[in-house]
Amino acid sequence: MRKKLFITLVFGLMVVPFIMGTATAKTLKIGSMSPLTGPYASDGTDIKNGVLTAIQVFEEAGGIPGYDKIELFPQDTACDPKQAVAAANKLINLEVVGVVGAYCSSSTIPSSETLDEEDIPMLTPASTNEKVTDRGLKYMFRLCGRDDDQAPAAAKFLKDSLNAKTVFIVDDKTTYSQGLADGVSKACKALGIEVVEHDHVNQGDKDFSAVLTKAKHANADIFYMSLQGYSPGALMALQAKRQGLKSQIVSQDAMFQPKFMEVAKEAAEGIYITYGFTDTTTPEYKAFENIYVPKYGSIAAYATYAYDAATVLLKAIKAAGATDPAKIKAEIMKMDFDGVAKRIKFRANGDSGSSYIAFKIENSKFVPYWSPEQGLLK
């Protein structure tokens, strides 16, 4: 008798959450994937903060009809493909309607396949490798540019603006950094710039003295560094200055982070980087700045793109009035509006176009310097 009572009680308790779940109103669940621990934790946290800002803005504007609340489930990928797939599976179990992420191309590529099997839309704010959108996945979108646009833009910049004859390339062997470095190497050769050497370092390295000594002796016109995050980039720039490297340093979008100058300080001055052009005078950008900066500090590389990605997703859900992936996709493809980072309009493959220009670091600021169409901007 007692045992029966006990079983009934336990069973009753187990049922409670289900009854309560249906009684209270609905929560819209969305996921984000980015490295929240490990070497790229800072960039990953920026992405999470960008998404949170978008949710905040949306909720303040009245939210989405039919839902009380929008909840974000931020997942840590640690820039590790295995962990990224695990995170994707976790988000599938949580039944999220869409995912913003991931950061590293090497995480985005495998995890997007997992999400695609369940028809969950994925919008990457930061993965620039070509393969992200070139695999014909149905629900893969990209807010940032592509490396096969960035590499030729960088090579053209080296040739046209810096009159480079020789270049020394270093990368740190990730899908993104090595893919881009290979692209730059190819584009340089096509333009008649000699690639003196293409060396590699490891992720997590702090000591670059050996490679920099090599570069110093090679004495190429340009030292092109393609590293996965701003942190090794800043270390490399700082050590290059201390070693007395005379080559002009040029780098890529991963360095677009105010922390880069904070760590490298005066060694950052005069470095050029290529990054998607963002007009910081638009009302959209200013509005974002007013919410983001007081809460999370300075705006870094991919916070704006993450904000735009989350906005696209939420707008699409609102416009579709449903969480059906096909309807969300139809709405996403219809989008045409001014985001914080850029004009947002998707192509059939999920790309939204690149707008790479060269920035110069002057007085600890990224100053637009050169664009492939207009040449010098000043």
Partner 1 sequence: MEYFIQQLINGITLGGLYALIALGYTMVYGVIQLINFAHGEFFAAGGYVGVILLSFFTGLGYMETHPILCLSAAFVLTMGYCAFLAVGVEKVAYKPLRRQSRLAALLSALGVSIFLSNGLMLTQGVYDKAYPSELFQGGIEFGMVTISYLQMMIVGMTIFLLFGLNILVFKTKIGMAMRATAQDKVMSSLVSISSNRIISLTFAIGAGLAAAAGIMVGLYYGSVRYDMGFLPGIKAFAAAVLGGIGNITGAMLGGLIIGMVEIFGAGYISGQYKDVFAFIILISVLYFKPTGIMGENIDDTRV
| Contact window for partner 1 (CB under 8 A) among 263-271, 304-312, 324-332, 360-368 | 263-271
SS3 16: helix
Q: Is 234 in the site for partner 1 (CB under 8 A)?
A: yes
* Local structure of residue 255 (DSSP, 8 states): G
Q: Which of 32, 34, 45, 355 binds partner 1 (CB under 8 A)?
A: 45
CA dihedral 270, 276, 280, 282 (to 10 degrees): 160
Residue 136 in tokens = 């014909």
Q: Is 244 in the site for partner 1 (CB under 8 A)?
A: yes
Q: Is 135 in the site for partner 1 (CB under 8 A)?
A: no
Q: Is 250 in the site for partner 1 (CB under 8 A)?
A: no
Decide whether 179 or 350 has the Cβ nearer to partner 1: 179
| Contact window for partner 1 (CB under 8 A) among 80-88, 233-241, 334-342, 357-365 | 233-241
Q: Which of 117, 262, 324, 362 binds partner 1 (CB under 8 A)?
A: 262
Sequence-ordered alpha helix ranges (H) in 125-221: 131-134, 147-160, 175-190, 209-218
Q: Is 270 in the site for partner 1 (CB under 8 A)?
A: no
Q: Is 363 in the site for partner 1 (CB under 8 A)?
A: no
| Contact window for partner 1 (CB under 8 A) among 18-26, 115-123, 141-149, 262-270 | 262-270
Does the N-terminal peptide bond of residue 264 adopt cis geometry, omega within 30 degrees of 0? no
Q: Is 41 in the site for partner 1 (CB under 8 A)?
A: yes
Q: Is 191 in the site for partner 1 (CB under 8 A)?
A: no
Residue 157: CB minimum distance to partner 1, A? 25
Task: Write out the DSSP string of 273-338.
Answer: EEEE---TTSHHHHHHHHHHHHHH-S--TTHHHHHHHHHHHHHHHHHHTS--HHHHHHHHHH--EE
**Rg for the chain, CA atoms, rounded:** 23
State which of positions 139-178 bind partner 1 (CB under 8 A): 170, 173
Signed CA dihedral, 136, 50, 250, 156: sign only? positive
Q: Nearest-CA neighbor of 339 among 263, 269, 276, 288?
A: 288
Q: Which of 209, 293, 326, 345 binds partner 1 (CB under 8 A)?
A: 209
Q: Is 199 in the site for partner 1 (CB under 8 A)?
A: yes
Q: How far apart are CA 88 and CA 111, in angstroms?
A: 6
| Contact window for partner 1 (CB under 8 A) among 35-43, 118-126, 144-152, 220-228 | 35-43
Residue 64 in tokens = 């989405």
Decide whether 87 or 215 has the Cβ nearer to partner 1: 215
* Local structure of residue 195 (DSSP, 8 states): E
Residues that bind partner 1 (CB under 8 A): 36-39, 41-42, 45, 170, 173, 199-202, 204-211, 213-214, 216-217, 231, 234-235, 238-239, 242-244, 259, 262-266
